[in-house]
Amino acid sequence: GDASQNKVVRGWGKEKKFDFKPLTHIELCQNLDIIDFNRATKITGSNFILFKGWGAKLERALINFMLDLHTNKHGYTEIFPPFLVNRASMLGTGQLPKLEEDMYKLKDDDLFLIPTAEVPVTNIFRDEILDEDKLPIYYTAYTACFRREAGSYGKDTKGLFRVHEFDKVEMVKFVRPEDSYDELEKLVANAEEVLQLLELPYRVKMLATQDISFAAGKCYDLEAYASGSDKWLEVSSCSNFESFQARRANIRMRRKENKKVEFIHTLNGSGVALARTVAAIIENYQQEDGSVLLPKALQPYLNGQERIT
């Protein structure tokens, strides 16, 4: 079915109700001088972000908080990959040939700015054979992500909802085929824990077949509630690609028992995407006096600061 068949499988937290008229993150960021949309447009063009002061610190705190959670608690190894990849990498994860016009490209070098860390991280094992007993392999990476999003204008292009460059912490798994659906549930739980620790109300949707990427076997979206805009914002997408990417990128495993070589399964998910998560934090944590409280989980990363004024 199409997007109308997407099913909410669970929710967490209560949608915030205010006894004053809440502001949107755009108004709050301008009042607090923590994001400068106009100067970002001057420097680059529309739909870019310039974080400033506590806005920049909040972004950095979120990245470190998420990487620490995934590496210290969830068992991922941290990767810091190149933000430019070659054509073979883009083909391996399935962005090319279908989505080429949505990508930023360096024409002289035939390199692409990555739309997600999934591309460089999945391609780490392109054209390699892994031993079965080395699996599963869990990698997490912070990168900037670059998207031309040629086809999506007109929908929610204001503020932090749809931008050409955003930060994201990604989780990528290389697993045995028989384990991939259990691994998908664990992947979703890892992304959910980020939102729970930030105390952001969210819901988990299972996507209908027509609404998922042509590469994925099963996909969940996590949507955080942003109370000022009264919107559910997609902050994570978690997919089991089964052997689709492994076949394109030629990533295989050797069975321990009979030495048989077969394609592995790959999974990835955002853990989580930052621009929209920042919007949800700023809107949900706003106070009547216009200040914004900082989530308790982030305060150790912000020198103990409790609010932005």
For residue 276, indicate whether it is catalytic.
yes
Cα angle for residues 203, 207, 209 (degrees, 5° grid): 175
Where would I find the H helices in 69-168?
87-93, 118-122
For residue 39, indicate whether it is catalytic.
no
Cis previous bond, 292, omega within 30:
no
Query: For residue 45, with 0-12 CB atoms within 10 Å meaning exposed, 13-18 middle and 19 or more buried, which class applies?
Result: exposed
Q: Is 96 in a helix, a strand, or coil?
A: coil
Query: For residue 305, with 0-12 CB atoms within 10 Å meaning exposed, 13-18 middle and 19 or more buried, which class applies?
Result: middle
Query: 287 - beta bridge partners?
Result: none
The catalytic position among 89, 237, 239, 270 is 237
To 10 degrees, the CA torsion angle through 66, 76, 103, 48? 10
Cis previous bond, 97, omega within 30:
yes
For residue 162, indicate whether it is catalytic.
yes
For residue 288, indicate whether it is catalytic.
no
Percent helix, strand, coil in the chain (nearest 5)? Answer: 35, 30, 35
For residue 236, indicate whether it is catalytic.
no
The catalytic position among 59, 89, 118, 162 is 162
The catalytic position among 234, 243, 254, 291 is 234
The catalytic position among 118, 147, 229, 242 is 147
The catalytic position among 223, 252, 276, 283 is 276
Active site residues: 147, 162, 234, 237, 276
